[in-house]
Structure 1
């Protein structure tokens, strides 16, 4: 599929490819692709390393933006360590893709995430805090990853995740998940209760 072909929003595809560039990192040189959700103006990216087009069982991570964890090194979640571990795993495999969706705070946004954190400081868990703010427990749209994977020619993945929703969504959208690769990293005293809540209330795999 060419860039020109993908810049159309037919067939209910909400994404428009914008451009790509080199991204040298401490885990090797990736190629970064930029996409715009034409409905909302949101920007999403994908990082690839090695050849992924038309390759079987590409190692992949669908990662939701977490400013506090990814960039500010927060210990309240495991997001930052998961992103780093995924990039390291792709480097070790010599091939793979990171789909990075700009869906902060499980889709509720950064400011609402701060409000939810405040309620968690007062004793609520992550599910209770969202509900107390009349917000969904998880508002993310993993369908977007399907369009990015398709653009990059990826139809079959080994998905690094603990979230069953990501697996089921990809399968329902026609992306074959040949293997779920557990990603349990970054566990500490600050996020132990948060992770326990994800396992017990949100159905995440504890492995």
Structure 2
């Protein structure tokens, strides 16, 4: 049976990047509170700017400099605001799908010399366990015809296409590297094929 979701509540959310409508979804896959922030009219539109952002408590809420998540979230909202329409889907899959506890344990392993991929594997997980089927269902619910995905991750594009989403283009969202996250970013580029440091290549 195909997974189902229901758009239970929509409410305006004013932000520094303008007003969005927050859509709260229930679903038959898990009991997590996945949401979509929508700006403007996206129904039946093509090349809608879309960011699919996985929850990062440390980066999104606390402003941790160990990753680029909080900066990417802010940049994505800015991109959508500038376009005048778009969607930010916020999926509750912390730590690339391994959860907050394991992510914090992985941080300690990284401080002992492992990179972000090896730490996850050492804890018995894959480098990335995120899934995007709920995001695809949200985009179907919002009646989007095609999207431009705000991402540096080619595997995210491939997975959405596999789920039937028309990804018409990609919008880069590369945050600045600094001493606290440069190793993390280099690992994502080298081991996870993320399209980072592209502007610095000859």
Contact 2:3 / 2:29 at 8 angstroms: preserved in 1?
A: no
RMSD: 1.1
Q: Distance in 2 between matches of 1:14 and 1:188?
A: 42
Question: How far off its partner does 1:205 sit?
Answer: 1.3
Residue of structure 1 in register with 2:56 after alignment: 66
Contact 1:66 / 1:105 at 8 angstroms: preserved in 2?
A: yes
Structure 1 spans left out of the alignment, 5+ residues:
1-10
Task: Between 109-118 and 130-139, report the one with greater CA deviation.
Answer: 130-139
CA offsets, 1:104-163, max 9 Å, x none?
000000011110000001110001101111112111111221000010111300111000
Q: Deviation above 6 Å: which 4+ runs of structure 1?
A: none
2:100 aligned to which of 75, 90, 110? 110
Residue of structure 2 in register with 1:7 after alignment: none
Contact 2:60 / 2:73 at 8 angstroms: preserved in 1?
A: yes
Residue of structure 2 in register with 1:23 after alignment: 13
Residues matched between the structures, number: 197
Residue of structure 2 in register with 1:52 after alignment: 42
CA offsets, 1:87-119, max 9 Å, x none?
011111111100110100000000111100000
Q: Distance in 1 between matches of 2:177 and 2:42?
A: 31
Q: Distance in 1 between matches of 2:134 and 2:88?
A: 13
Residue 178 of structure 2 is aligned to residue 188 of structure 1: yes
Residue of structure 2 in register with 1:131 after alignment: 121
Q: Distance in 2 between matches of 1:186 and 1:88?
A: 16
